[in-house]
A and B are shown apart, each in its own frame.
Chain A
Amino acid sequence: MQIPDQELSVAGVGIATAPATPTRRRRARAGVVLGWVRDRLATTPGRLILISALVVVGAVCFGVIATGAEQSRERAVRAARTETEPLLVHALTLYKALQEANATVATGLLGAGGLESRYSQAQYTKDIQRATSALTALTQGAVTPAAQAALGTIAADLPTYTGYVEDARANSRQSFPIGAAYLRQATVVNTSMVHAAGRVYAAEAERLNNDYQTGTDTAALVALVAAIAAALVLLALAQLYVTRVSHRILNVLMLVATVLLVVVSVWALVGVSSEQDSLAGAQRNGSDSLEALSAANVLLSRAQGDLSLTLVNRGTDKTGPLDFGAATGVLTTSPIAAALRSRFVAYRAAADRIQQLESQGELVIAIRQLPGVATLSNRLSDQLGREITAADGRFKHSASDAASALSGLGLAIPLFTVLVAVLALLGLRQRINEYR
Chain B
Amino acid sequence: MSRPVRHLIGVALIAAVLAGCGTTSDHALNMAMRALLTPTPTPKPTPQVKCTHPPANLTASLRPPAAMPAPGHMPSRTFMSTIQHRHYLRAGVNASTLRFGSLYPATGNIDGFEIDLVRQLAHAIFGDWNPDRVHLVALTVGQREEAVTSGLVDVVVDVTTITCVRKQQVDFSTVYYQANQRLLVPSNSPATDITSLSHQRVCATANTPPIDVMKKNYPQVIPYGAPQAIDCLVLMQEGKIPAISTDDAILLGFHLQDPNTKIIGGSLAPAPYGMEISQKYPEFVSFVNGVLAKLRADGTWQALFNKWLAGLPDANPVLPPPQYVR
Which A residues are closer than 8 A to B by beta carbons?
95, 109-110, 112-115, 167, 171-172, 174-178, 180-182, 184-185, 191, 198, 201-202, 205-206, 209, 212-213, 215-216, 218, 221-222, 225, 228-229, 232-233, 236-237, 240, 262, 265, 269, 273-274, 276-281, 283-284, 287-289, 291-292, 294-296, 298-299, 314-319, 322-323, 325-327, 330-331, 334, 360-364, 367-368
Contacts and interface: CB of A to CB of B under 8 A. Distances in A.
B257 A319 contact: no
Contacts of B257: 171, 174, 176-178
Given A178-B234, A277-B22, A288-B28, A364 B36 contact: no
Contacts of A363: 95, 103, 110, 136-138
B311 interface: no
B28 A114 contact: no
* B4, B24, B28, B42: most-surrounded residue (chain A CB, <10 A): B24
Contacts of B138: 314-316, 361, 363
A269 B230 CA distance: 70
Interface stretch (B7-15, B68-76, B161-169): B7-15
B309 interface: no
Interface of B: 1, 3-4, 7-8, 11-12, 14-15, 18-19, 21-29, 31-43, 90, 92, 95-98, 102-106, 108-110, 135-140, 142-143, 152-153, 228, 230-231, 233-234, 237, 253-254, 257-258
Contacts of A262: 7
Contacts of B22: 216, 273, 276-281
A288 to B, nearest CB: 4
Given A315-B139, A361-B152, A364-B136, A296 B105 contact: no
B140 A218 contact: no
B96 A314 contact: yes
Nearest to A184: B231
Contact of B8 (A221, A233, A325): A233
Nearest to B10: A266
Contact of A294 (B32, B90, B137): B32
Ranked 6 nearest A-B pairs via Cβ: A361-B137, A114-B105, A315-B138, A273-B18, A177-B96, A288-B28
Given A213-B24, A361-B152, A325 B228 contact: no
Given A360-B137, A361-B137, 15 more contacts: A171-B257, A177-B253, A184-B231, A221-B19, A233-B4, A273-B18, A276-B18, A287-B28, A314-B96, A316-B96, A323-B40, A326-B40, A361-B90, A362-B135, A367-B108
Contact of A361 (B12, B24, B40, B135): B135
Contacts of A229: 7-8, 11-12
Contacts of A323: 40-41
A233 B142 CA distance: 83
A229 B40 CA distance: 57
Given A295-B32, A361-B135, A114 B41 contact: no
24 contacts: A114-B105, A177-B98, A178-B234, A178-B258, A181-B231, A181-B233, A185-B231, A216-B24, A229-B11, A265-B11, A277-B18, A277-B21, A283-B24, A283-B25, A291-B29, A291-B32, A295-B32, A315-B140, A315-B143, A316-B95, A322-B40, A361-B135, A361-B137, A364-B110
A368 B36 contact: no
A159 to B, nearest CB: 14
B157 to A, nearest CB: 13
Contacts, number: 212
B38 A299 contact: yes
A233 B3 CA distance: 9
B234 A185 contact: yes
A273 to B, nearest CB: 3
Contacts of B135: 360-362
Contacts of B1: 236, 240
Contacts of A269: 11, 14-15, 18
Contact of A325 (B4, B41, B42, B140): B41
Nearest to A317: B140
B15 A205 contact: no
Contacts of B14: 269, 273
A426 to B, nearest CB: 21
A232 B4 contact: yes
Given A236-B4, A364-B110, A319 B38 contact: no
Nearest to A235: B4
A315 B103 CA distance: 11
B233 A178 contact: yes
A232 B233 contact: no
Contact of A191 (B21, B40, B136): B40
A78 B172 CA distance: 73
A216 B19 CA distance: 8
Contacts of A232: 4, 7-8
A287 B27 CA distance: 12
A114 B228 contact: no
Contacts of A167: 237
A279 B22 CA distance: 8
Contact of B42 (A221, A319, A330, A368): A319
Contacts of B233: 178, 181
A46 to B, nearest CB: 24
Given A175-B106, A299-B38, A314-B138, A276 B19 contact: yes
Contacts of B228: 181, 316
Contacts of A294: 32
Given A299-B38, A315-B140, A218 B19 contact: yes
Given A114-B106, A221-B18, A205 B35 contact: no
B107 to A, nearest CB: 8
Contacts of B137: 315, 360-363
Given A269-B18, A361-B135, A361-B136, A279 B38 contact: no
A375 to B, nearest CB: 18
Contacts of B258: 178
B144 to A, nearest CB: 11
A291 B4 contact: no
A363 B143 CA distance: 15
